[in-house]
Each structure stands twice: as C-alpha cells, then as structure tokens.
Homo-oligomer: A and B are copies of this chain.
Amino acid sequence: MRIIELNESITDSNDKDAEALRSLLKAQGTFLINIMSSPGSGKTTLLERLITDLKEKHKIGVMEADIASDVDALRIEKLGAAAIQAHTDGMCHMDAGMTQRALMAMDSKDLDLVFLENVGNLICPAEFDTGANANVMILSVPEGDDKPLKYPLMFEKSDALVITKTDTMSYFDFDLEKCKERVLRLNPHISIFPVSALTGEGMDALEEWIEKHM
C-alpha cells in the first residue's frame, strides 16, 4: 500500500480540473464515487462491506484521504482491493487536482469502480468538486437527526445519503422520518439509504443504486 503526500492544487479553476478528471475517468472506464461525512461516521466500515459484496463483479480501488495515519488504507488492502493513502498536508478537503494525483499514483486504469474516502469533515469537502461521478454522503445515527439543519450544503451537494449504524437506532434519539423530511426539503433529488454495515441491513438497495449509476 502506497502513501502519497498531497497539497492544495494551485490552478486557475478547480471546476475545470474536475471536468478534465471526469473526461479522463470516462476514457478509461472508471466510475469514481466521492464519499463525504463527519469523522467517525463509519465510512471505512461501509467501504469494507461494499468491497466484500461487490469485489467478485468489479475491480475496486479506494483512495483514503486523511491528514495523518494509514489505518484506513491498511483495512481496505486486507480485503484485496487496490488502496492508496493520501495525506492532505493538513488540508480539510480534497480538490480535483489532488484527487487526480492520487488516482494516477494508484494506477487506476484497470479499475471500474473507485471510491474516494474524503477527509472526515461535514463542511469544507462540500465546497470542492473532486471530479467524481457521484457524491455520496454518510450520516451516522449517533450524530443525530438535526444535522441537515446545521450543515445544509453537504446535503444539497450529495446524490445519495447513506444513514449508517441503523443497528444502534434503539439506543439513540434519532427520528428517521424527520431526518428524511429535512434532507428532502434541502435536496428533493437525493436518494436515501438507511443501512447497517454490521448486520448488512439495507446494503442491497445501496449496491443496486451504485451499479445502476456506473
């Protein structure tokens, strides 16, 4: 597993870089999903489950973006998926240039499905198009159903919302219907998937959504 040191891209336009990356992904037949959430929402655990379920059908790679450590990439590599750990030099988000450099360093040509696990942060990553084909955000049950009220941009920018750790629903005061209503008011086109990566509940619908969009 490689570690790549990245820092902010200094270019004229992140949006232009993002479009260029999407053209490159199309040319090489790779579908890139940008996964965003708070720290500790269960991004890596969800990815472990997705890789286990989908690795017979697809060639999967994961780019782990963190300020420090390589714990997530090591977990992914154990499952047999291609993995690279990107260190963001203290940066709170990935931009399109950084994403492209990590993708090139991973040698993604043969991969048909790549996940970018963005830096754990519910604010800054929503402001930067990474060049991915789809934006998926995660909200975990312990974080609470009021998060759409407080971090609206992330919900507005996402194509799908995965509500994780649903197996802990009885332990926390989380109103799923109220949460969905708040999210759909911000973004009527978002697809919502309550799942437990631990028990597998709800994973089928999410995996179907991913394969439909590839």
Copies of this subunit:
2
Residue numbers in B under 8 Å from A143 (CB-CB)? 38-40
* Interface status of A113 (Cβ within 8 A of chain B): no
Q: Which residues of B contact A71 (CB under 8 A)?
A: 146, 149-150
Residue of B119, B151, B153, B168 touching A39 (CB-CB under 8 A) = B151
Interface membership of chain A positions 149-172, coded 1 if the CB is closer than 8 angstroms to chain B and 0 otherwise: 111110000000000010010010
The size of the chain A interface, using a CB distance under 8 A, is: 32
Q: Does A122 count as interface, using CB distance less than 8 angstroms?
A: yes
Q: Which of B121, B127, B153 contacts A122 (CB 8 A)?
A: B121
Instruction: Flag if A142 contacts B120 (CB, 8 Å).
Output: no
Kindly identify which residue among B38, B66, B122 contacts A150, using a CB–CB cutoff of 8 Å: B66
Q: Which residues of B contact A171 (CB under 8 A)?
A: 168, 171
A112-155 CB mask vs B (1 if < 8 Å, else 0) is: 00000001111110010000000000001011101101111100
